[in-house]
């Protein structure tokens, strides 16, 4: 078994959709980024890549590469799962925490977990997504952006 850790953050901006785990969340602002800026999916991807020592999302999918402009991050997650499978590993479980003052994410958690599980081809019992505010402290607390932390456990398939 191997463990991986992921972290990501993105700045809020006007005129973009907020995408978390491939799910569009109603909010007056979205996140800024080359791709869809899906902070949760980026974080999960980095946790998986870290566990398998495959580098990081920026190295695999460089933002200088036009093919990843406005890319759906869950599609990158799918590619990373295929890489992991090719190495002979499977994901045991993912645990992630999204840090955001707003919007309230509780109503969307089930949909987010289902979306990630389906893009990863794992069972929903293997994925746990939580959300916290930052008690109005820091960039998340000032609603300048969102961040996310995730761990992933992988194991070699028999």
Provide the binding-site residues for Zn ion, judged by CB under 5 A: 8, 42
Cβ at position 10, least distance to Zn ion in Å: 6
* In contact, 17 and 72? CB cutoff 8 Å: no
- Tell me how far apart the alpha carbons of residues 64 and 80 are, in angstroms, rounded to a whole number: 19
Residue 71: HSE in the Cβ half-sphere, 13 Å Cα cutoff = 22
Q: How far apart are CA 150 and CA 94, in angstroms?
A: 7
Evaluate whether 148 touches 107 at the Cβ level (below 8 Å).
no
- Name the minimum Å distance from CB 4 to Zn ion: 16
Minimum Å gap between C-beta 158 and Zn ion is 34
Q: Of the candidates 90, 101, 105, 109, which has an alpha carbon nearest to the alpha carbon of residue 48?
A: 90
Nearer to Zn ion, 8 or 101 (CB): 8
Measured from the CB atom, the residue of 29 and 42 that comes closer to Zn ion is: 42
Q: Which is nearer to Zn ion, 8 or 113 (CB)?
A: 8
**Calpha distance 1→42 (Å, rounded):** 22
Residue 151 near residue 4, CB atoms below 8 Å: yes
Judged by beta carbon, residue 51 or residue 57, the one nearer Zn ion is 57
- Residue with smaller CB distance to Zn ion, 39 or 51: 39
Residue number of the CB closest to Zn ion reads 42
* Ordered alpha helix ranges (H), 9-108: 39-51, 57-60, 73-86
């Amino acid at each position: 078994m191997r463990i991986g850790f992921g972290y990501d953050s993105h700045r809020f901006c006007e005129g973009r959709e907020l995408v978390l785990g491939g799910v569009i969340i109603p909010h007056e602002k979205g996140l800024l980024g080359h791709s869809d800026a899906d902070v949760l999916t980026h974080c999960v991807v980095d946790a998986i890549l870290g566990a398998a020592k495959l580098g990081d999302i920026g190295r695999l999918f460089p933002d200088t590469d036009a093919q990843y402009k406005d890319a759906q991050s869950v599609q990158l997650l799918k590619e990373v799962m295929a890489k992991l499978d090719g190495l002979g590993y499977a994901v045991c479980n993912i645990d992630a925490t999204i840090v955001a003052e707003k919007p309230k994410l509780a109503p969307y958690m089930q949909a987010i977990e289902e979306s990630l599980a389906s893009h990863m081809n794992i069972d929903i019992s293997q994925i746990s997504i939580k959300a916290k505010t930052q008690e109005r402290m820091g960039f998340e607390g000032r609603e300048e952006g969102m961040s996310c932390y995730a761990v992933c456990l992988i194991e070699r398939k028999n």
